[in-house]
Amino acid sequence: MVTPPTVAPEADERFGKYRILQRLAVGGMAHIFLATLDGPDGFSKACVIKRILPEYANLEPFSRMFADEAKVAALLTHPNIVQVFDFGKIDGQYYLAMEWIQGQSLDRIMRHAAAASMPLGLRVTVDVGLAMSDALTYAHAKTLSDGTPLKLVHRDITPGNVLVSRDGIVKLADFGIVKSSVNLERTVAGVVKGKYAYMSPEQITNRELDHRSDLYSLGIVLYEASTGRRLFKRDTMEATIVAASQGDVPPPSQVSPGFPPDLERILLRLLAKDPDARYPNARELHDDLERFRGTQHWTSGGRELATLMATLFPPDAKGRVATAVAVPGSMPGSSSQGSTRTPTGISHLADLPPQERGAPGESSARVVTGVMARGTDTGATGLVAPPEQVVGAESFPWGLAAAAGAAAVGSALFWLFVA
């Protein structure tokens, strides 16, 4: 394991049975820490602690949301899902203890690859698709202890929530806004949660969702990873909402000449506007991707991803690995009315200006899922915490949405998430 970066460690602070090593991220209502769980004879296990600040722990909506996330996460044990292994309350502070993953989000990998004029390649895209479809197959089929279907819908499948370790292991993060039978009765009517550019048409128009909405969102992720082009991201938040609501998808072969027809068929089926025209479940998607990989005579495993990680994020002159710490989960933060406008005409990831590539001061009109540490092109380590936006009646563009067939949603709320 690579030694964690040393960034202002808390002076041997104890938090119950955990020893705090450093604070990774700060939000308006919760903090994220790198910690260890120590035992006898030198035993020590690194983990990530997310804890709500004491002043918010007694506010029912936040403690309830935190508890719901813990309940869902505790049910999920899969090699391609970030593990949450502890939940509790110490000195008035609710906390989650989660698996620590040293790596990068797919979002940052894509940006660095584009800036280096190094396409990810179809093999990497297929590897990510196989890992995510396997994770979703498991999560969508999960049941409660009495056999009751969990009916889980992640609702936030985005490149920022796909974490890749330096060993090439792919994991799905952040079940903070998940919809399931655990919290279904607590879902606020008229509130849309997620990142606009990765929502299915039914999600962005606040219609009833099922697991096929996650497959659509995964289709957007794989489309962008394989072509290097944004699908629905536009120069304004309103235009992005309209584009996602309309769901018009140019075939990948129009964007990337020579795109394999079989993979194009898979992506277009994932991105069908009508849920009934998509894959009925993630297992069938996984099987289809496996068949495609077989026709290409590609071997299984994460070697391609591990090689890509080592190439894009190499050690510095002193041999230290210039990688970010990717931390799963989401948490409530201070409200924000701001949004970031992507410059007009930007459609390719390599065209993004510095502030859109993870430079200092980055912000974005997205719901953040994993806390992903970011650095400048010199390899310096930092953290990014873009704001989440929950669409409501006051913020939703009624005229544009009507033209796109989008439905009106509830009152305007904006939450800042880090995780």
- Catalytic residue numbers? 156
**Which residues, listed in sequence order, are joined to residue 378 by a DSSP beta bridge?**
none
Please list, in sequence order, all residues whose beta carbon lies within 8 angstroms of the beta carbon of residue 122, skipping any fewer than 6 positions away: 226, 260, 263, 296
Number of other CB atoms surrounding residue 25 within 10 Å: 23
Q: Is 4 exposed, middle or buried (0-12, 13-18, 19+ CB in 10 A)?
A: middle
Cα-Cα-Cα-Cα torsion 227, 233, 239, 240, nearest 10 degrees, comes to: 110
Number of other CB atoms surrounding residue 250 within 10 Å: 12
Extract the runs of DSSP E, i.e. beta strands, from 67-143.
84-90, 93-98, 101-105
Tell me the pairing of strands 44-52 and 93-98. Answer: antiparallel
Tell me the pairing of strands 382-384 and 13-15. Answer: unpaired
Residues composing the chain: 419
- For residue 56 the two structure tokens come to 């918010």
With residue 371 as reference, give the H or E element that holds it.
strand 371-374
Number of other CB atoms surrounding residue 133 within 10 Å: 27
Please list, in sequence order, all residues whose beta carbon lies within 8 angstroms of the beta carbon of residue 38, skipping any fewer than 6 positions away: 19, 44
